[in-house]
Amino acid sequence: MMQRIDIDADKETLISDDLVLKLELESDGKKGEVLSGNIEYFKLSYHPYGFDGLVHFSVFDDPKIHELFASKKPINVTFFYQTNRQKKAKKPPTKIKGIVWERTSKGIGKNGQDKDTWMYQIQFSDCAKVSWKAHFPLKIYLEKTLKDVIDEEKNALIDLEYDFEALTEEYPILAFALDYKKDRPECGQPNFYDFLTWLLHLEGGVLNYNYKDNKYKISGKKEGDGDPIGVAEWWVTPPVCNYPTPARSSETVLKHYPDKVEKEDKKEETAFDKVRSDYLDSETYTQFPEQNDLKYKGVQSPEKNSVCFNAIELTEKFHFEHLFPGTLIAFKGEEKKGRTWSESSLFNGKTYRLSHISIMGEKTSASEGMKSFAQPYEMKIHVESEEKDELFIQRPHYVRPIYPFPILGKIFCEIGEEEQTTYNVVKDEKAPLGRYEVLIPIGGEEKKVIVPFSPDFMTGQHYFPFCKDQQVMVDMYFRTAKIKRVVNWQPLTELPEKIQGCQVVYASNGKDKYFYQKHEFVDGKDSVMTIKQSSSEAQTQVIEIKEKVMTFTVEQKDKFKVMVQFDRDKGLLLQVKDD
């Protein structure tokens, strides 16, 4: 019977070696150190964008370690590891630096010793992951680049470089709401690390972590250049090859307009006949951001083979310092030792890039004569790699930022006098129906948010732009915004509490200049419609219509009053009064 494909099934994939380990802890000036003799187990997981680590150790009752674990201050960690052979050859150890995000301890008593023994465990990760996962900003950036945004949200723990042109483009709006919601499950709460991961996924960028220098770099391509390291067949287990899933449907992009539809077909050779995926191109919906989907750039799924294997031998040419993401390798065999799987077309002549490395080590027993610095460990080193020209980018799991998010604002307009209900709708190529400027305090005192003007739920036969100083609820999207509703009445619009009626104020200065139309039931029964204009501080013009009666009145304060009334029962009445 054939054995199933399981890279972890073979006990022979474990590497036994004497390791020299050191764990340095520091928090608020307080320090602690743990050496190999006390480290029972460790696990390191390396990705192109950062790492996770776990160290389990035991010590006699140590006040320094206990004080560090009891402190609420962040704990900085540096973990050093190398083989005893490397130490004897005076080679520097491999090291990683991070921040502890989980710590536990357990006292197990004297256990046959003179002092109490304590077991400790820490979990730690790279600085960007730990610090940005605790960062929950709500920000609206106006006329800024993506680089500006990242720099503003970056902290002193993160050393970050840029080599990605997409980050230098300036946008009218860049908005995100990562404010912490106490009633939301942690798994559904996006933080800034999630936001950055999503942003780079959207733009097709890469976050690369330099393990040697503890630095980050955002670029437009993966790390890994130069000549590959030759990895002999007998240094690793026969690799397991994972093949990409071919496309099983063709694509059709639909550009849909009110009076026509345009189709763009993309035939996939590997697709089933008459099976397709339709995509609505939402670029024609620029005035309606809720319909305008963001387009993710770059390759969205693997296109090349990937292989995984376990290391079974560490050599001078293939050791800890090489086992990091971005390292290029090429599998090889030798005539005298025989060539087997490396001659396959899957490996022969191909260069692979390491993409994920997992190193686990567990102490077996104390090594006599070397207790001061070296201890025997059994290690399992698992490696995942991809073809060098693979364009698909591996990213950490992330919670997508939530859009839209609501925020209050106020319509801005400089036309007319301060008290006038004027509006300013500007049309341009990007906003053929027009756009507003809205003041939103969190965006900055002198900054205005550009918001499209669209008919929305009006019939298309009404034109009622929002006027100066109107308070509005704005739906913020990543790169645009939309007015969702108004949140208060314009001056003079609201009727007194005891009046049963409706009123439309077309314009006003909030006190003595206005034009409105009103309908009410006087005494709860008589229907009265009024159209009234105050063209100046002194003069008003009124049309009043009720059952059998229509009245026209023009009145100049303290000067005259002219009234014309048509009454079905009393006839025509003309009245002129001078004050």
Predicted pLDDT of residue 2: 46
Q: Is 3:20 a contact under the CB 8 Å cutoff?
A: no
Q: Show the tokens assigned to 134.
A: 């605790």
Together in a domain, 237 and 372: yes
Q: What is the DSSP letter of 243?
A: P
Residue 412 inside a domain? The answer is yes
Cα–Cα distance for residue pair 327/333, rounded to 1 Å: 19
Question: Among residues 256, 277, 282, which one has the least CA distance to residue 265?
Answer: 277
Cα–Cα distance for residue pair 35/29, rounded to 1 Å: 20
Residue 395 inside a domain? The answer is no
Q: Is the pLDDT of residue 11 over 60?
A: no
Q: Which of 486, 520, 549 is the last residue of a domain?
A: 486
Average model confidence (pLDDT) across the chain: 89
Q: Show the tokens assigned to 195.
A: 């936001």
Residue 392 inside a domain? The answer is no
Together in a domain, 123 and 239: yes
User: Would you place residue 30 in the very low, low, confident or very high pLDDT band (cuts 50, 70, 90)?
Assistant: very high
Together in a domain, 274 and 363: no
Q: Is 425:465 a contact under the CB 8 Å cutoff?
A: yes
Q: Is the pLDDT of residue 511 over 60?
A: yes
Q: Is the pLDDT of residue 355 over 50?
A: yes
Together in a domain, 208 and 261: no
Residue 298 inside a domain? The answer is no
Average pLDDT of the residues in 287-304: 83
Cα–Cα distance for residue pair 263/47, rounded to 1 Å: 40
Residue percentage of the chain with pLDDT more than 70: 94
Q: Which residues contact 225 (CB under 8 A, 6 or more apart)?
A: 328
Distances (CA, A) of 409 to 107, 116, 287, 443, 457: 57, 62, 19, 10, 20
Q: Is the pLDDT of residue 198 over 50?
A: yes
Q: Which of 451, 486, 521 is the last residue of a domain?
A: 486
Q: Show the tokens assigned to 51.
A: 């790492």
Cα–Cα distance for residue pair 579/561, rounded to 1 Å: 8
Predicted pLDDT of residue 333: 81
Together in a domain, 320 and 355: yes
User: Would you place residue 21 in the very low, low, confident or very high pLDDT band (cuts 50, 70, 90)?
Assistant: very high
Write out pLDDT tens, residues 380-406: 999 999 999 999 999 999 999 999 999
| Residue range(s) defining the domain that contains residue 261 | 250-291
User: Would you place residue 1 in the very low, low, confident or very high pLDDT band (cuts 50, 70, 90)?
Assistant: very low
Write out pLDDT tens, residues 519-545: 999 887 889 999 999 988 889 999 999
Residue 396 inside a domain? The answer is no
Q: Is the pLDDT of residue 548 over 50?
A: yes
The amino acid present at 67, given as its one-letter code, is E
Distances (CA, A) of 151 to 106, 160, 209, 332: 41, 9, 17, 44
Q: Is the pLDDT of residue 8 over 80?
A: no
- Can you tell me which residue has the tokens 């950062």? 50
Q: Which residues contact 418 (CB under 8 A, 6 or more apart)?
A: none
Together in a domain, 207 and 316: no
Residue 281 inside a domain? The answer is yes
Helical (H) or strand (E) element with 202: helix 192-203
Cα–Cα distance for residue pair 84/88, rounded to 1 Å: 6
**Residue 236, domain CATH:** 2.30.300.10
Together in a domain, 472 and 552: no
Average pLDDT of the residues in 8-25: 82
Q: Show the tokens assigned to 70.
A: 């009891």
Q: Give the pTM.
A: 0.88
Q: Show the tokens assigned to 31.
A: 């320090």
Q: Is the pLDDT of residue 349 over 80?
A: yes
Q: Is the pLDDT of residue 556 over 70?
A: yes
Domain count, the chain: 5
Distances (CA, A) of 516 to 64, 469, 490, 556: 77, 19, 12, 18
CA of residue 526 relative to chain centroid, distance: 59
- Can you tell me which residue has the tokens 């009454």? 567
Together in a domain, 49 and 126: yes
Give the E-state strand segments of 233-286 in sequence order: 240-242, 250-256, 261-266, 276-280
Question: Among residues 373, 361, 337, which one has the least CA distance to residue 93?
Answer: 373
Together in a domain, 367 and 482: no
Q: Show the tokens assigned to 197.
A: 């991961």
Residue 262 inside a domain? The answer is yes
User: Would you place residue 466 in the very low, low, confident or very high pLDDT band (cuts 50, 70, 90)?
Assistant: confident
**Residue 149, domain CATH:** 3.55.50
User: Would you place residue 311 in the very low, low, confident or very high pLDDT band (cuts 50, 70, 90)?
Assistant: very high
Cα–Cα distance for residue pair 141/173, rounded to 1 Å: 6
Residue 316 inside a domain? The answer is yes
161 C-beta neighbours (distance < 10 Å), count: 12
Q: Is 267:250 a contact under the CB 8 Å cutoff?
A: yes
Together in a domain, 111 and 141: no
Together in a domain, 283 and 329: no
Q: Catalogue the long-range contacts made by 481-486 (C-beta closer than 8 Å, 24 or more residues apart).
A: 481/173, 481/175, 481/289, 481/404, 481/438, 481/449, 481/450, 481/451, 482/288, 482/289, 482/290, 482/404, 482/451, 482/452, 483/436, 483/438, 483/451, 484/406
Q: Show the tokens assigned to 481.
A: 């915004």
Between 538 and 26, the more confident residue is 26
Cα–Cα distance for residue pair 79/94, rounded to 1 Å: 8
Average pLDDT of the residues in 209-224: 93
67: left (phi over 0), alpha (psi -120 to 50) or beta: alpha
Our CA angle for 324, 325, 331, nearest 5°, is 85
Q: Show the tokens assigned to 489.
A: 């009445």
Write out pLDDT tens, residues 114-140: 777 889 999 999 999 999 999 999 999
The amino acid present at 398, given as its one-letter code, is Y
Write out pLDDT tens, residues 420-442: 777 788 887 777 788 888 999 99
Q: Which residues contact 83 (CB under 8 A, 6 or more apart)?
A: 17, 18, 19, 20, 314, 319, 320
Q: What is the DSSP letter of 317?
A: T
Average pLDDT of the residues in 278-282: 83
Together in a domain, 411 and 440: yes
pLDDT winner (highest mean) among 6-10, 179-183, 216-220, 486-490: 216-220
Q: Are strands 229-232 and 435-439 parallel, antiparallel or unpaired?
A: unpaired
**Residue 428, domain CATH:** 2.40.50
Cross-strand bridge partners of residue 263? 254
Q: Is the pLDDT of residue 4 over 60?
A: no
Cα–Cα distance for residue pair 373/356, rounded to 1 Å: 29
CA of residue 130 relative to chain centroid, distance: 15
